[in-house]
Chain A
Amino acid sequence: MADELTPDELLDKIDYGADSGNWMDTTKSVQIRPGMYCYAAKAESVETLGLPNARPWNPVEEDWKLPDDWQQILHNGIKERLERFRTFKIFMDVCVRCGACADKCHFFLGTGDPKNMPVLRAELLRSVYRNDFTTAGKILQNIPGGQRLGGNRPLTLDVLKEMWYYFFQCTECRRCSVFCPYGIDTAEITIMARELFNLIGLNIDWIATPVSNCYQTGNHLGIQPHAFKDMLEFFVEDLEDITGVDCTPNFQKKGADILFITPSGDVFADPGTYTCQGYLILFKYLKDKYGLDVTWSTYASEGGNFGFFTSHETMKRLNAKMYAEAKRLGVKWILGGECGHMWRVIHQYMDTMNGPADFLEVPVNPITGTRFTNAASTKMVHITEFTADLIKHGKLELDKGRNANRIMTFHDSCNPARGMGLLDEPRYVINNVCDNFYEMPPNTIRENTFCCGSGAGLNAGENMELRMAGALPRATALKHVHEKYGVNTLGTICAIDRAALSTLCEYWVPEVEVAGIHELVGNALILPGEKERTEDLRMEPLPGCEEEE
């Protein structure tokens, strides 16, 4: 927890009046401060994937143990990426610094640090680009004072450290991109910057170790196959206590209808575990009622993809498992669980990177007959699309009363909102399993949603001040509906959110709990042959079943 800083102390620090002086004077800003940065990647995690410059190093030490030719490596890296990514090239060239993005970033709003304005975050890299890659920059280099006047900087160690510090204070949420008149996407620039850092071994451990685990063991947490099975079986035992029904899932079942992949966080940490139990209940219901055969896989047991926060190549290497496993098992199509960045990867990258998935069928829900034409090529469907379709066709028996104690609001996760547009499907599901739903203010939901403050691999423990500052805009909106409508549950469809928002609530709005949408589905769904339920999935009394005092 952010024990060093109370919420009040954190609030005292916020000031949107920017610094005076020239931001290019880096000496002051590269004081990498505890609470705001993540620990360096462990050498062994970097080695697993054979990524460059694996060694122990420490961001707060003077010597970062870089290769001798690190400037040349980065220069070539930038050049290569300018050719490979039109986004990068255009975004380096066209910004007019109109400032529309400045106060759209949750990290700026929570810290007041002017270098957290998206425009300035990008300028850190753009100043190097202008200096080294544009004609004007090359001319200005030769004029005394020209670099400074042009806003151009050579790539020095201080500049590198500053970039590292601030590109690991961006959660790639794309909110600034919504407001940019040219669609400049800071997420894209951060992605490029982090790719560049990885060329010289400058990843953070909270990304590198999950990547390494995922590559070798199948999931971020490094849960081995037998342990993964044990954990799900543990849920099955709980569910049998709660419902009286055996919800044992399939593992690696060849010839199943659907392969289901969800973030491993749901198997491991509360409150994601309750969402996971919701999935188990749903699949049991569909099996018993309609004969639908869903299988899990311990090999492809990670929906999330921290490779996305490392490099495009690493993302592809981790993502490849989904199609590979679907092919090996001979399923018809893939169903994906509730996760944020996982869905950006699936929706905007997977087919391009690892497709075509011509061994799968165009997803059809055999129960409703709905053909998911929006997933015709990638052949992967989001679970809220799937569940919404089932509910719409009246295929699920739901008892909303079991969620009567929940007064809900919904947090749109950045990636499904701004990298996909999955907005109404989860709301439809919520409204069908729960009676009390209130939206947060319009500036903070849907495409305007605020990040939890911990996305893109920043969900570590050591950067808690940064996380809680970044969480402030979301927390403010949540507090508003909590006070106005008595909201006590924050619904979300993201595994990182389930962990991060829980911490957010504990810090900023302690009266609110976080729940995945399929936890609510699991509570409401009436399983064939179930006993009279008295407890919800958290093993707390259902509304109306509280013990009398």
Chain B
Amino acid sequence: MTQKYLIPLAAVFLLFLVAYTGAGAGLGWFFGIVFPYLAIIAFLVGFVIKVMGWAASAVPFRIPTTCGQQKSLDWIQQNRIDNPDTTLGVFVRMLLEIFTFRSLFRNTKAAFNRNASNRITYSWEIFLWVAALAFHYAFLVVLLRHFRFFTSPVPGVVQFLEALDGIVQVGLPGLFLSGVVLPAAVLFLLARRLFDAKLRYISQASDYFPLFLILGIAATGISMRYFTKVDVTGIKEMTMGLVTLSPTIPDGIGGLFYGHLFLVSILFAYFPASKLMHLGGVFLSPTRNMANNTRAKRHVNPWNYDVPIHTYQDYEDHFRDKMIEAGLPVDKKE
């Protein structure tokens, strides 16, 4: 199913070209002002609607997935994080899940060895976790670094982050680590999907599209910083215009920048309608964010309703004679 990745790849190229040529043809105001605003609005509104939609659904039962010893008898050591019974425990579990991808860290790889041992064996499979973590943190750093373009003066935190990201002090302009890690991690995640038969089978176009999109964003960004050397002063003038709601289109910014900005805008606009919403969903996942204390503290189902049941009286009426004959106690003798 080559379509599944060729179409998203072509789409990203096309989107870039549209903005690249469009901006050259005098449509800079659209790609530099109108579309970024629309994209941000779509992102914010879409994100809120999606999360509100989840929050509007009930949580009828408390069903955490327990991954360790429960709290029961005092002398049995409870696993307070993987099987939390308190809000604090849940908080720590969620913190580890969100910031360290704890569940993914457990990942194993199974192999079946026919004829030799006929055994299924499991090995620790760390690469997905490493790549996922590297990708997300590199992306975060890149995102935060870009606040340089939306603030004046640039906050100390952003400058510090830049210094940290450029700590290797190689080349001029100085190499950012995130600029290496991000594309490398994305390429690894892409390679998994393309070359692992299982992954290729389950992957959809909507899995490839964000990868190509982010790769496109990274490629254009890196190219501007290290190779084509765009007019940074002009760009900052423009981005500051966007953020202060007094947009302007300075001359001489170049199509590459519009391509970059357009792909970023597409990413924002696409975000709420896509699987990327796992960013919001992970916080709300009931199997992770609930305490395993259902027997100790009653959980209330907001839509609980009465159901017909077969009562003891029905049962005794049905079996009374047999019960009496067998010497079983009954409530009514006849």
| Chain A interface residues toward B at CB < 8 A | 11-12, 14, 16-23, 50, 82-90, 93-100, 102-104, 109, 112, 114, 117, 119-120, 123, 134-136, 148-151, 174, 177-185, 188, 215-216, 218, 224-226, 229-230, 251-254, 298-299, 312-313, 316-317, 320-321, 324-325, 328, 346-349, 351-353, 355-356, 370, 372-378, 380, 385, 388-389, 392, 417-425, 428, 441, 443-444, 446-447, 472-473, 476, 479-480
Cβ 8 A contact of A114, one of B54, B75, B201, B326: B201
Q: Which of A177, A253, A446 contacts B287 (CB 8 A)?
A: A177
Instruction: List B contacts of A102 (CB < 8 A).
Output: 198-199, 202
Candidates A93, A120, A389, A472; contact of B73 at CB < 8 Å? A389
User: Within 8 Å CB of B192, what residues of A?
Assistant: 99
Name the interface residues of B312-334: CB closer than 8 Å to any CB of A: 312, 315-316, 318-319, 322-323, 325-329
Contacts A16-B110, A374-B70 known; A181 to B103 CB distance under 8 Å?
A: yes
Which residue of chain B is the closest to A428 with respect to CB atoms? B76
Residues 104-126 (chain B) with a chain A CB within 8 angstroms: 104, 106-112, 114, 118-120, 122
| Structural contact, B294 and A378, CB atoms closer than 8 A | yes
Q: Among residues 195 to 253 in chain B, which have CB atoms less than 8 Å away from a CB atom of chain A? A: 196-207
Per DSSP, chain A at the interface is helix
Given A17-B197, A82-B57, A89-B57, A352 and B299 contact (CB-CB distance below 8 Å): yes
Q: Are B62 and A348 in contact (CB under 8 A)?
A: yes
Given contacts A174-B65, A224-B322, 7 further A-B contacts (CB under 8 A): A18-B198, A179-B106, A181-B104, A320-B307, A328-B312, A374-B71, A421-B66
> Which are the 3 A-B pairs with shortest beta-carbon distances?
A421-B70, A94-B281, A226-B326
Give A23 to B1 CA distance when docked, in angstroms. 10
Q: Select A347's contact among B7, B68, B207, B295, beta carbons within 8 Å.
A: B295
Select A356's contact among B62, B197, B293, B298, beta carbons within 8 Å: B298
On whether the beta carbons of A109 and B298 are closer than 8 Å, the reply is: no
Interface size class of B (residues with CB under 8 A): 35 or more
Contact (Cβ within 8 A) A90 B65: no
* Cβ contact within 8 Å between B204 and A11: no
A428 to B72 Cα, complex, angstroms = 13
A388-B73 CB under 8 A given contacts A17-B197, A83-B57: yes
A11–chain B nearest beta-carbon distance, Å: 6
13 contacts between A and B (CB under 8 A): A20-B201, A96-B207, A97-B275, A103-B108, A177-B287, A181-B101, A216-B310, A225-B328, A351-B298, A376-B296, A418-B66, A447-B68, A480-B119
A-side contacts of B300, CB under 8 Å: 352
B270 to chain A, nearest CB (A): 9
Contact present for A149 and B197 (CB under 8 Å)? no
Of B67, B72, B204, B316, the contact of A97 (CB 8 Å cutoff): B204
Contact B304–A353 (Cβ < 8 Å): yes
For B299, list chain A residues within 8 Å (CB).
351-352
Most buried by A among B72, B108, B206: B72
Any A CB within 8 A of the CB of B18: no
B282 at the interface (CB under 8 A from A): yes
A95-B275, A378-B295, A480-B119 in contact; A185/B65 too (CB < 8 A)? Answer: yes
- Is B87 an interface residue when CB atoms closer than 8 A count as contact? no
- Give Cα A215 to B308, complex, Å: 11
A182 to B279, CA, bound (A): 9
Task: Give the distance in Å from the alpha carbon of A351 to the alpha carbon of B206 in the complex.
Answer: 41
Which single member of A182, A230, A372 contacts B285 (CB below 8 Å)?
A182
The proximity string for B residues 39-59 relative to A, scoring 1 for CB distances below 8 Å and 0 otherwise, is 000000000001001111111
Within 8 A of A (CB), among B271-293: 273-275, 277-278, 281-282, 284-288, 292-293
CB contact list, B64-94 vs A, under 8 A: 65-73, 75-77, 79, 82-83, 85
Which residues in A have their C-beta under 8 angstroms from that of B304? Answer: 352-353
Contacts of A376 in B (CB 8 A): 295-297
Decide if B152 is an interface residue (CB 8 Å cutoff).
no
With a CB–CB cut-off of 8 A, which chain B residues contact A422? 70, 72
Whether the Cβ atoms of B286 and A87 lie closer than 8 Å is yes
Give the nearest-CB partner of A376 in chain B. Answer: B296
Q: Are A373 and B296 neighbours in the complex by a CB distance under 8 Å? A: yes
Query: Are the C-beta atoms of B202 and A325 separated by less than 8 Å?
Result: no
Residues of A within 8 A of B57 (CB): 82-86, 88-89
Residue ID in chain B nearest A324 by CB atoms: B312
Smallest CB-CB separation from B75: which chain A residue? A392
Structural contact, B107 and A317, CB atoms closer than 8 A: no
Contact of B1 among A22, A150, A443 (CB under 8 A): A22
Query: Would B311 and A324 count as touching, CB distance under 8 A?
Result: yes
In the complex with contacts A87-B287, A313-B307, A179-B77 CB distance below 8 A? no
B295 in contact with A380 (CB, 8 Å): yes
Q: Which residue of A lies closest to B8 (CB)?
A: A149
Task: Tell whether, in the assembled complex, residue B114 and residue A352 are in contact, meaning their CB atoms are under 8 Å apart.
Answer: no
Within 8 Å CB of A355, what residues of B?
A: 298
Contacts of B325 in A (CB 8 A): 226
Report the separation of the CA atoms of residues A50 and B56 in the bound assembly, to the nearest whole angstrom: 31
Cβ contact within 8 Å between B202 and A119: yes
Specify which chain A residues have a CB less than 8 angstroms from the CB of B204 in the assembled complex.
97, 150-151
Task: Tell me the nearest residue of chain A to B123, going by C-beta.
Answer: A443
A372 to B296, CA, bound (A): 9
